[in-house]
Amino acid sequence: MIETPHLRLIPCDDTIFEAIKMGNNVLGRVLGANVPKRWTSYREVFTPSFHRWKTHPPLRDWWTHLVLYVPDNMLIGSCGYKGEPDAEGVVEIGYEIRPSHRERGLATEVAKGLVDHAFAHDLVRKVIAHTLAEESPSTSILKKVGFERTGDIQDPDDGLLWRWELLKQG
């Protein structure tokens, strides 16, 4: 688990993935937390994420986490890594916060928590992220955490994206 001042980033395991499939009431009981109806905008990705996680054990430290807002004991989003570090020590982060909890610095706290957790591992030399090719709250979050825009990529699904990188210091 990754803990930040206001959040707990809870790694998904078999029990949590199964609870997500069974619905918010079951997930709330498993987490011991309040689970609002629309805690994620990406519910459809959890089933393929679970299958990949099951068949690829190295992902167990580098995959999906749920974002629990401690003051309200409420599930407010998801985050994680898009796979384990590659041969060059690069890992990619992603995150989402439900609209009711945006503009409070929580997404920045999530991103920083993921970065700090990644850099605590000797294998990781660089953390990357991608955003749509426009200034947005996501680009502001990455800048606050210390990322720099390093280029553009063409994604087959999302079109032009900006690539962001943060190098491990020391």
Q: Can you read off the two tokens belonging to residue 1?
A: 């688990």
Which of 12-16, 17-21, 53-57 is predicted with the least confidence, judged by mean pLDDT? Answer: 53-57
Q: Smallest Cα–Cα separation from 105: which of 62, 135, 71?
A: 71
CATH 3.40.630.30 fits 2-123, yes or no: yes
What's the pTM? 0.93
Q: What is the DSSP string of 50-76?
A: HHHHHH-GGGGGSSEEEEEEGGGTEEE
User: CB of 127 within 8 A of CB of 115?
Assistant: yes
pLDDT band at 46 (very low <50, low <70, confident <90, very high): confident
Q: Which pLDDT value is given to residue 132?
A: 94
Contacts of 56 (CB under 8 A, 6+ apart): none
Rounded to 5°, the CA angle 105-110-111 comes to 100
CA–CA separation, 69 vs 30, rounded Å? 16
Q: Which pLDDT value is given to residue 54?
A: 75
> 126-132 and 90-97: which strand pairing?
parallel
Q: Is the pLDDT of residue 125 over 90?
A: yes
Q: Which pLDDT value is given to residue 165?
A: 98
